[in-house]
Amino acid sequence: MAKIDFGGVLEDVVTREEFTLEKAREVLKKETVAVIGYGVQGPAQAMNMRDNGINVIIGQAPEFKADWDKAVADGFVPGLTLFNVEEAVTKGTIIQYLVSDAAQRILWPKIKPCLKKGDALYFSHGFSITYKDQTGVVPPEYVDVILCAPKGSGTSVRRNFLAGAGINSSYSVFQDYTGRANERILALGIAIGSGYLFPTTFEKEVYSDLTGERGVLMGALAGIMDAQYQVLRENGHSPSEAFNETVEELTQSLIRLVDEKGMDWMYANCSATAQRGALDWRPKFKQAVLPVFEDLYNKVKSGKECQRVIDSLSSPDYKKKLDAELSELGNSELWRAGAAVRKLRPKS
């Protein structure tokens, strides 16, 4: 491991230079990686590993025809590298359990009997193991239980891989039956194209992930955009002006500067008026939202958020309600304005 200074705190990370792709191939040369679920993370991780020379098969329920057909379109062959879920688990030595959290709970009674002594059970989210009392996902003692969690969507994992970059991933070993769990997960992390790997635990991964998704990454981001857009519109600004000042300038300009060299670099490349205002108002926003984040984290850690999610996803009309909520979001004036703005962007 390499010691890296993260803002004055030294952390251990694993880079591609110290754990090379060649080493990953050597570790995995006798393994068959069965990717269970070809929905969100499954396609990206499976294709990246296949492109890196790893033996990959897919386990996908044929009745979910769209996902089955996608796997076929991506070059996986029924009866050769594409199987139903139980058959894939039986054939695999590393089982990447990449169906949704809700599906993991439902499928577990079919998965568990197919696991063999010495297999590795791989997750990309700590949800099912951390909240095992609610999910019922309790692995047998004769398998390794490991985690590699890319810090991005499946789409980004694949795009970054094809671009020669990578999405950073956290990794963890929950159960080491074979004595090889650590080298297995590091090899898999490199094989799926991670930029670098940093250690975590299943609990810390799920606590940070659920907080991030509900917070800055998705929930808070959408919420503050809604609020600012509403205030601008209520004060007579046009939809185009309100959207550009709320979303377009952020996504097409400022966030790219943050990505390049950090928040201070973005500030330094804005006007003195913008800098002064941002620095003055930053603590006000932090003070306003800090109690919300504390409440969110406590609900995640206590399991209340997990139970709320399970209850919601268990509703027979959940998909109908979800589609209605997403439709309401997409059809709001803010995002209809966004669709118009995107069409007006100059073509490259």
Q: DSSP for 19-79, please give it.
A: S-HHHHHHHHTT--EEEE--SSHHHHHHHHHHHTT--EEEE--TTSHHHHHHHHHTT--BT
DSSP bridge pairs for 148: 171
In whole angstroms, what is the distance from residue 232 CA to residue 263 CA? 25
Position 195 scores a pLDDT of 86
Q: What whole-number distance in Å separates Cα of residue 180 and Cα of residue 144? A: 8
CB 52 within 8 A of CB 24: yes
Q: What is the distance in angstroms between the CA of the first residue and the CA of the last residue of the chain? A: 42
Q: What is the chain's Cα-based Rg?
A: 22
Distance CA 139, CA 63 (A): 26
For the chain, what's the residue count? Answer: 348
Return d(Cα 235, Cα 189) in angstroms, integer. Answer: 50
- Measured CA distances, 17 to 25, 117, 196 (Å): 14, 32, 9
Give the class (CATH, top level) of 2-199: alpha beta
CB of 45 closer than 8 Å to CB of 192: yes
Q: Catalogue the active-site residues.
A: 125
Token pair 């929905």: residue: 39
Determine the Cα–Cα distance for residues 96 and 34; give it in Å rounded to an integer: 6
Pairing of strands 169-175, 144-150: antiparallel
Angle at 345 between CA 339 and CA 346, to 5 degrees: 155
Q: Which residues of the chain have pLDDT under 50?
A: none
| Tokens 């009392």 sit on residue | 133
Provide the pLDDT for residue 11: 86
- The domain locations on the chain are 2-199, 213-344
Confidence (pLDDT) at 3:
84
184 SS3 class: helix
Is residue 309 a contact partner of residue 214, using CB atoms and an 8 Å limit? Answer: no
Percent of the chain at pLDDT exceeding 70: 100
